[in-house]
Amino acid sequence: MRLADLVALASFFGTLSILSIGGSNSVVPEMARHAVGERHWLTGTSFSDLFAISQAAPGPSNLIVAMIGYKVAGLAGAVAAQAAMMLPAGLLMVVVARVWQSTTGSDWHVALERALGPISVGLILASGWIVAENAGFSHRGYAAAAVCTLLFWRTTLNPLPILAGAGFLGWAGLI
């Protein structure tokens, strides 16, 4: 049912919204587990393709959610999923921004940032790993991912030409 789909999308992404500490890429593993493994909304290959498209597209990093929503329930699904992904975290951000401006430098503020930072880093690294696993790369695919990691990590090059170049190499059958 269409309405049931919208409710399922909104409730799942609304929950992920609040859980996406460290940026929306930190919930990519959970998103894949639920959308591919439990709900069968899309295949693992499609999930990896959508992740790649959403990373190359402009805008906030959570737009893969709109594409999953579109697959499940069309335009209404895209709007419902994206709104659910943005509103809970957004409202929390509004509330905390007010408090934050008056407590900069306090102990709990410093400790909280210090505590969550490393966990987020681990989750973001895991998100890249999961996408690589789901993509079914050949050895050359893994090599390309490793080279791109080094380029993005060690240089300040604009990622877009590198994404385009990797797409060209894939199109040419080299990845």
Partner 1 sequence: MPTSGTAEDPAAGAPAPTLRELFLLFNRLTLVSFGGGLTAWARRLIVEDKGWLDDTEFLSAYALARVLPGANQANFAIYVGHRFRGLAGAAAALLGLTLVPFCIVVALAWMYFDEGAAPAAQDALRGVTAAAVGLALAAGLKAGEGFHRRPAALAFIALAFAGSILLHLPLPAVLAILAPPAFFVAWRHVHQRDGKGTGS
Residues 119-148 that bind partner 1 (CB under 8 A): 119-132, 135, 137, 141-142, 144-148
Closest distance to partner 1 from the beta carbon of 6 (Å): 15
d(CA 91, CA 148): 35
HEC assignment per residue over 131-163: HHHHHCCCHHHHHHHHHHHHHHHHCCCCHHHHH
Q: Which of 7, 11, 43, 92 binds partner 1 (CB under 8 A)?
A: 92
Produce one character per residue of 155-164: b if its CB has 16 or more CB atoms within 10 Å, e if not: eeeeeeeeee
Determine phi and psi for 20, rounding to 5 degrees.
-80, 55
Minimum CB distance to partner 1 smaller for 6 or for 27: 27
Give residues 44-83 in contact with partner 1 (rule: CB under 8 A). 46, 48-63, 66-67, 70-71, 75, 78, 82
Residues 1-40 that bind partner 1 (CB under 8 A): 17-30, 33
Q: Are 35 and 72 in contact (CB under 8 A)?
A: no
CB of 39 to partner 1, least distance (A): 14
Residue 43 in contact with partner 1, rule: CB under 8 A: no
Residue among 7 and 33 whose Cβ is closer to partner 1: 33
CA distance 23 to 117: 11
Minimum separation from the CB atom of position 81 to partner 1 (A):
11
